Amino acid sequence: MLGLLGEQGSDFAYKVDYANDIVTIISVVCTVAIVGAMLYFAVKYRQRDGVDHETPAIEGNNALEVIWTVFPTLVCIWVAWLGYDSFVDLRTPPPGAMEVNVTGRKWAWDFQYKNGKRTTSELVVPVGEPVKLIMTSKDVLHSFFVPVMRTKMDVIPGRYTHEWFRPIKTGDFQVFCTEYCGNEHSKMLARLKVLPKAEFERWLADDSEERKLAAMKPSDRGKELYVAKQCVTCHSLDGSPRVGPSWLKLFGKQGQLASGDKYTADENYIRESILNPQAKTVAGYPAMGMPSYQGQLSDDDLTGIIEFIKTIDGSQKIEVAPAAPPKKADAALASMTPAERGKALVADSSNMCLTCHSLDGSKVVGPSFKGLWGRKEKLSDGSEVQVDAAYIKESVWKPAAKIVAGYGPAMPAMYEGKLTDENLNDIIEYLKTLQ
């Protein structure tokens, strides 16, 4: 009715919104009536010219007291019922709901499906099906809040809590942690992806990568992630300098930070540098060069990477396989519009665009894609440039050619050969839609 709580994503959302609308109307009417009466009395019965006038000694009125005791009581019973009614739906998952196990930890959300598939910071569900989340915490209290679904529940160590919803539309929605849990509380976010049923089934069944990783020894897992998570782009294995320090003989190395302090590259230092790269920057490297991997890597992943780094001690030459080709079937791509293909390319994790460029206007490592197309950018050399097709292609293939003022030379030169001219035309079509 009033639409105060925004988009409705679950089948019970309308009930919560209805209760919220009714109480809003009652509140506004009551406040206006009472404050209006007060202001009316204040004006009507004011002392004129500062002279006191005679007043009647009215001490009360029993009939009025009864009315304004009974009337608010009745209103309260009604709105209490509305609140109760919406709550019952929201707390009662239908039998046969798809169950997903959720684990909160400082500071990310892990999800596990019945077939063993795991994700971090990304909950993928099918549209139209009830989903029941069975939640627990590894450390302190968290709370799983999906605004668009109108549901929220605390996540508690040592016990299970649950929440459920039945998505009524596909899309990509925000999940917040709403119980204070320490330093990165405000970064403990996740995405809820609601997919068409068939697409979800395909996604769920695709567990090849997961199984492969689970069976590996930690250092092999780290080696796999080195490519899959694009560490390779900025960190070499042979000592050659790229955007970031090489991993050759990195473990145990001592050196100087940009702040002047000393560092020793032990397990904790590496872990911190992956999750919170800006905390310590090695002297001589760009301060904003690396995006945070907070929420993208599990503890096992981090251990794997650290173990992998330990193996790069120079005793043997390490070969890595090139990044896996895009998984999306060519047939599926062919049936899409150019803008849709562009969107898929941008979202494809092997391309890593979204690691540094946001879609919502927020500044990450690089400029946001939102509103980028057609804008005039000021470059670091002071000149101005119009964001057109030629500029975008140059920026992707040869990122160092033109740097927008306020950003560092952080974008890796890895896309020439990886993204074709056709790919870029699709991406440009997609960017045009992000205004």
Partner 1 sequence: MSAHTHAAHANEEVNYLNWKTGLWSWLSSTDHKRICFLYLFAIMIFFVAGGIAALLMRLELSTAGPTIPGIVKDPHTYNVLFTMHGVFMIFLFVVPGIPATLGNFLIPLMIGAKDVAFPRLNLFSFYLYVLGAACGAVAMLNPVDTGWTFYAPYSTTTDTSVSLMVFAAFILGFSSILTGLNFIVTIHQLRAPGMTWMRLPVFIWASYATAVIQTVATPVVGMTLLLVIAERMFGAGIFDPSKGGDPVLMEHLFWFYSHPVVYIMVLPAFGVVGEIIPVFSRKPLFGYKMVVLSSMAIAAVGFIVWAHHMFVAGISDFSAKFFSIVTFLVAVPTAIKVFNWVSTMYKGSISFKTPMLYAMAFVFLFMVAGTTGIYLAMLGVDVYYHDTYFVVAHFHYTIQGGAVIGLIAALHFWFPKMSGKMYNERVARIAFAMLFLGFNLTFIPQFILGMDGMPRRYYDYPPQYQTLHTLSTVGAFLNGFGYIFSLLNLLGTALFGKVKAPRNPYNSKSLEWQTASPPIHENFETTPIVNEEPYNYGTHAHA
Q: Write out the binding residues for partner 1, residues 363-392 only, by CB under 8 A.
A: 363
Query: Which residues between 162 and 201 bind partner 1 (CB under 8 A)?
Result: 174, 176-187
Own/partner contacts of 79-84, CB < 8 Å, gap of 24 or more, are 79/19, 79/22, 79/23, 79/26, 82/18, 82/19, 82/22, 82/23, 83/19
Q: Specify the residue, 180 or 400, whose C-beta has the smaller distance to partner 1.
A: 180
Indicate which single residue of 49, 60, 376, 381 sits in contact with partner 1 (rule: CB under 8 A).
Answer: 60
What one-character DSSP code corresponds to residue 53?
A: -
Indicate which single residue of 50, 95, 96, 260 sits in contact with partner 1 (rule: CB under 8 A).
Answer: 50
Query: Which residues between 273 and 302 bind partner 1 (CB under 8 A)?
Result: none
- Please enumerate in sequence order all residues whose Cβ is within 8 A of that of 106, keeping only pairs 6 or more positions apart, or say none: 138, 139, 140, 181, 182, 184, 188
Indicate which single residue of 151, 230, 292, 355 sits in contact with partner 1 (rule: CB under 8 A).
Answer: 151
Closest CA to 388 of 373, 402, 368, 398: 373
Q: Is 83 a binder of partner 1 (CB under 8 A)?
A: yes
Burial (Cβ within 10 Å: 0-12, 13-18, ≥19) of residue 40: exposed
Would you give the binding string for partner 1 spanning residues 102-141, x where CB under 8 A is met? -------------------------------------xxx
Indicate which single residue of 8, 10, 20, 296 sits in contact with partner 1 (rule: CB under 8 A).
Answer: 20
Indicate which single residue of 8, 9, 10, 16 sits in contact with partner 1 (rule: CB under 8 A).
Answer: 16
- Least distance (Å) from partner 1 to the CB of residue 63? 11
The dihedral formed by the CA atoms of 244, 250, 252 and 257, expressed in degrees to the nearest 10: -20
Residue type, 173: F
Q: Is 49 a binder of partner 1 (CB under 8 A)?
A: no
Indicate which single residue of 49, 52, 381, 384 sits in contact with partner 1 (rule: CB under 8 A).
Answer: 52
Q: Specify the residue, 152 or 328, whose C-beta has the smaller distance to partner 1.
A: 152
Q: Specify the residue, 72 or 255, whose C-beta has the smaller distance to partner 1.
A: 72
Query: Which residues between 211 and 230 bind partner 1 (CB under 8 A)?
Result: none
Q: Specify the residue, 152 or 271, whose C-beta has the smaller distance to partner 1.
A: 152
Q: Report how many residues bind partner 1 under the rule CB under 8 A.
A: 85
- Least distance (Å) from partner 1 to the CB of residue 293? 17
- Pairing state between β 131-137 and 254-256: unpaired
Cα dist from 301 to 219, 271, 275, 276, 297, whole Å: 10, 10, 12, 16, 6
Q: Is 411 a binder of partner 1 (CB under 8 A)?
A: no
Indicate which single residue of 11, 14, 87, 300 sits in contact with partner 1 (rule: CB under 8 A).
Answer: 87
CB 368 within 8 A of CB 377: no
Closest CA to 188 of 267, 266, 99, 110: 110
- Least distance (Å) from partner 1 to the CB of residue 123? 17
Residue 109 DSSP SS3? strand
Q: Is 63 a binder of partner 1 (CB under 8 A)?
A: no
Residue 209 DSSP SS3? helix
Q: Is 72 a binder of partner 1 (CB under 8 A)?
A: yes
Closest CA to 229 of 171, 288, 301, 125: 301
Q: Is 96 a binder of partner 1 (CB under 8 A)?
A: no
- Pairing state between β 384-386 and 376-378: antiparallel
